[in-house]
Chains A and B, each alone.
Chain A
Amino acid sequence: MSTAVSDRIEKEVLLRAPLSRVWQALTDAREFEQWFGVRLDGQFKAGTPIHGKITPTTVDPEVAKMQKPYEGMKFEIVIDRIEPKTLFSFRWHPFGIDPKVDYSSEPMTLVEFTLQELPGGVRLKVVESGFDKIPVARRAQAFTANEGGWAKQVELIQKYVEKRVAP
């Protein structure tokens, strides 16, 4: 089955703040918690996993309300690289929130933040890659209505499920 999932998400944003401020907001776990919407045990260290729980963000009350149902869900990221004021990266399970599912055997995506100082601010680039290895992304892909319509999608889901259930 050749349902290729496009592999990456790329974002770029201009932050009107000093480089040191942006770096701190990204890599100080207490600050990261605030905008990311998690509570973490400890600080970031390259090559080391860090655990925590999903918690409503403190920055945006509207989003906090939406995150409420997932409050307390376990959360793990594995810090990849910390290169001061240049690059911060981690691996995680995107939307890995089902408490009954053990995601540890599933591949993770890689999230990379790269910073570039510009006059008047910082250009922050975020790249999340590796979705083609994530089962739920492949399942979701099976619902895509591009080819063959609904009947085709059902066939794909069934094939997918049968393959997974078969010993």
Chain B
Amino acid sequence: MLRSVSRRSSGGAKAERHRSARVAAPAAIFFALGDETRLRLIARMSDGGPLSIASLADGFHISRQAISKHLRVMSDAGLARCGRRGREAVWQLEEDGLAEASRYLQVISKDWDDKLRRLKDLVEA
């Protein structure tokens, strides 16, 4: 609820926090996308809804611990989130994070805006 509110408003502390989170995300998102296992986990979660680590690990030739580590990287990047089904931890995709990734060029473009703003501050000081 909070998230959708902050996305709609154009000012205020919530929007500011949301903006900051987005600025922090690009490097983490592209880090998370830069791995074959994580891409396959994304594909699997897109197909199957919330899944346990056991079912996510099924068919991979790596340990559940390794899968957990990949999932943590994805959750840090805002691409996946962990919930519970009874006593079991289940994972699903964070669609906002994926939408952010789809704006790859805009994200890099924003990064250039930040760099050029800092260059401007430096040379005009």
Name A's B-contacting residues (CB within 8 A).
Answer: 5-6, 9, 11, 13, 15-17, 21-22, 25-26, 31, 34-37, 57, 59-60, 63, 66, 69-70, 94-95, 97-98, 100-101, 124, 126, 128, 131, 136-137, 139-141, 143-145, 150, 153-154, 157-158, 160-161, 164-165
Are B46 and A95 touching (Cβ within 8 A)? Answer: no
Are B36 and A161 touching (Cβ within 8 A)? Answer: yes
B115 adjacent to chain A (CB < 8 Å): yes
Residues of B within 8 A of A157 (CB): 39, 42-43, 46
Determine the main DSSP class of B at the interface with A.
helix
Name B's A-contacting residues (CB within 8 A).
Answer: 20, 23-24, 26-28, 30-31, 33-36, 39-40, 42-43, 46-47, 95, 98-99, 101-105, 108-109, 112-124
Instruction: Look across to chain A and name the residue whose beta carbon is closest to the beta carbon of B73.
Output: A98
Are A9 and B33 touching (Cβ within 8 A)? Answer: no
Residues of A within 8 A of B46 (CB): 150, 153-154, 157
For B118, give its contact among A5, A63, A150 (CB under 8 Å).
Answer: A63
Are A161 and B39 touching (Cβ within 8 A)? Answer: yes
Are B116 and A124 touching (Cβ within 8 A)? Answer: yes
**Given contact pairs A63-B114, A141-B102, A15 touches B36 in the complex (Cβ within 8 A):** no
Are A126 and B123 touching (Cβ within 8 A)? Answer: no
- Of the A-B pairs whose beta carbons lie under 8 Å apart in the complex, a sample of 13, sorted by A's number, is A13-B116, A13-B120, A57-B118, A95-B31, A95-B108, A124-B116, A126-B116, A131-B104, A140-B101, A140-B102, A150-B46, A153-B46, A154-B46
Are A143 and B105 touching (Cβ within 8 A)? Answer: no
Told that A5-B104, A144-B102, A158-B43 touch, could you supply 6 new A-B pairs with CB distance under 8 A? A6-B105, A26-B119, A34-B122, A66-B20, A140-B103, A153-B46
